Amino acid sequence: MKPALSPDREPLTKTPPAPKWLSEDARGEWKRIMPRLIADRIVTRADLTGIENYCVAVGHVRAIERTFAATGTLDKTLFGMQNRAMQTARQLAAEYGLSPVSRARVGSNAANDDDDDNPLTIGRNRR
């Protein structure tokens, strides 16, 4: 079971600019996700490298897909690279609350003094 995500004690309060070295696709993803991460108060300066890596992986997926579309062929090596980039992006997205399941974890470790009223509690005996 993954630990719940929660607002950090020292979250960033405004979106830092995308690193200049990111590809256009990666910068686009940065601009798309950062407002959400800032609003959820999850990301700190220490997290920026992981977010950069997520954006790079998404950028690779998109660039490879454009190559497939332009050539009309599915290169086995590029397909493997794209698949690994997708897996990496999915794993990193889960770390930062960017997937439906991980978003549900955001703030879920708050003090919980009455589990009985939680309709999402599964497999627990109700009193």
> Cα(113)–Cα(116) distance, rounded to whole angstroms?
9
Question: Confidence class of residue 9 from pLDDT cuts 50, 70 and 90?
Answer: confident
**Own/partner pairs for 91-97, CB < 8 Å, 24+ apart?**
92/50, 92/51, 92/53, 92/54, 92/57, 93/54, 94/2, 95/50, 95/54, 96/33, 96/37, 96/42, 96/43, 96/47, 96/50, 96/51, 96/54, 97/5, 97/37, 97/40, 97/42
Q: What is the pLDDT of residue 104?
A: 76
Q: What is the pLDDT of residue 97?
A: 87
State yes or no: pLDDT of 28 exceeds 80: yes
Segment 27-40 mean pLDDT: 94
pLDDT over 80 at 6, yes or no: no
pLDDT of 2: 65
Averaged pLDDT for residues 107-119: 45
The percent of residues in the chain predicted with pLDDT above 90, rounded, is 62
Structure tokens belonging to residue 79: 């397909």
Assess whether pLDDT exceeds 80 at residue 106: no
pLDDT band at 27 (very low <50, low <70, confident <90, very high): very high
pTM of the shown model: 0.76
